[in-house]
Amino acid sequence: TGNVTLDPGFVNTASCSSAITFIDGNAGVLQYRGYPIEQLASQATFLETSYLLIYGQLPTADELADFEHKVSDRMLLDERMRELYRMFPRGAHPMQVLSAGIMALGAFNRDNLDPHDDAQVEEATLRLIGSMPTLAAYAYKSSVGEPFMYPQKKLSYVENYLRLSFGTPVAEYEIDPAVVKAFETLFILHADHEQNCSTATVRMVGSSDANIYASMSAGVNALSGPLHGGANQAVLEMLVKLREDGLDAKTFMNQVKDKKSGVKLMGFGHRVYKNYDPRARIIKSHVDELLRNSSKSNALLDLALELEDTALSDEYFIERKLYPNVDFYTGLIYEAMGFPANYFTALFALGRLPGWIAQWREEHADPKRKIGRPRQIYIGETERDYVPITER
């Protein structure tokens, strides 16, 4: 194997050069195209941020209006795609249904699958961003057995998404501007995060010249794991279980520190951040106002705050530089807004889609790109002779 070096989990190996997202993990800094996440989260919209990630510059007012218009034109799915959603069993995990939905979207868009044709890539970009709220909402609707809603042109991207998820033909969803603003912010915070597991997967699949829909669906699948985006569901389930079992923060923390228990404090730790995750900091600053009407969520929030305090003053967490990550507080907000826990990660996927697309496009624009093909260190048997089955 010559000069091959082993780096499990790619802890020290850069797989690409990128001009999209900058993270300084020691300082807790996150920037998209050079703009601090704090400024984007408080001042930009999600589609404006998506434009920035994908095209490299903040849009002018005309460019943004044009982008919003094109995206909104593509929110309606082919009517036959509804049949796909009817087929899944009640209770199917929305992430499974979402990844299947994105693959189906590709099958319904066979005229924009060529990764080398710029016009087709542009159409697929708009088609994916436009369809994602509908795909995610239908994944939810199919899991709870409610009828599907159609998007409405007069509504914004986030408004449409919330109505598609929570509206029903008998009870129109009432749009609350505070909730819309919260989701604009949450989606911006999730929009890109350089070479995390799902983004690296998107690039890996893209490197074989598979079509962009196949890459995005692969991203959804990578994101679904509890060590990655699935952590938002896992955090809420952890908090609920702790309350049900009546376990206090200190006892639980002792379980976490006992490596043999296999218990982790979900929503804590990060490969790159060795400081407070700036996304978690922003979310935490909004959590109080967003949970004000929900007594159940407030009890879980108290527990989360207690776990954070206990962890941040504990030698185990200090030594390892473990801080809350983006997933620690989001589940509490989603729960207070009525989302079931198994739908949380689809919200992450909706937010991350523009980042995946931007990274896929950057990969394809690189003239030096190569198929992703890691090496290995072989540790198996040396050559031996085949033994006929009768002699084994």
Tell me the catalytic residues.
270, 327
The residue among 320 and 375 lying less far from ligand CMC, judged by its C-beta, is 320
Calpha distance 213→234 (Å, rounded): 27
Q: How far is the CB of 237 from ligand CMC (least distance, A)?
A: 12
SS3 30: strand
The residue among 243 and 264 lying less far from ligand CMC, judged by its C-beta, is 264
Q: How far is the CB of 249 from ligand CMC (least distance, A)?
A: 14
8 A C-beta contact, residue 172 and residue 117: no
| Nearest C-alpha neighbor of 67 from the set 141, 131, 125, 119 | 125
Place of tokens 């218990």: 263
The residue among 138 and 323 lying less far from ligand CMC, judged by its C-beta, is 323
105-110 LR contacts (CB < 8 Å, sep 24+): 105/77, 105/81, 105/131, 105/135, 105/213, 106/211, 106/212, 106/213, 106/214, 106/217, 108/77, 108/78, 108/80, 108/81, 109/213
8 A C-beta contact, residue 70 and residue 375: no
The residue among 271 and 286 lying less far from ligand CMC, judged by its C-beta, is 271
* Chain centre to alpha carbon of residue 219: 9
B/e letters for 291-317, b = 16+ CB within 10 Å, e = fewer, are: beebeebbebbebbebbbebbeebeeb
Instruction: Write down how long the chain is.
Output: 392
Q: How far is the CB of 310 from ligand CMC (least distance, A)?
A: 12
Q: How far is the CB of 25 from ligand CMC (least distance, A)?
A: 10
Strand ranges (DSSP E) for 25-102? Answer: 29-32, 35-36
Q: Which residues bind ligand CMC (CB under 6 A)?
A: 9, 196, 227-229, 231, 256, 264-271, 320, 322, 325-327
The residue among 120 and 310 lying less far from ligand CMC, judged by its C-beta, is 310
8 A C-beta contact, residue 206 and residue 212: yes
The residue among 271 and 369 lying less far from ligand CMC, judged by its C-beta, is 271
Q: How far is the CB of 278 from ligand CMC (least distance, A)?
A: 12
* First-residue to last-residue Cα distance in the chain: 32
Q: How far is the CB of 113 from ligand CMC (least distance, A)?
A: 28
SS3 372: coil
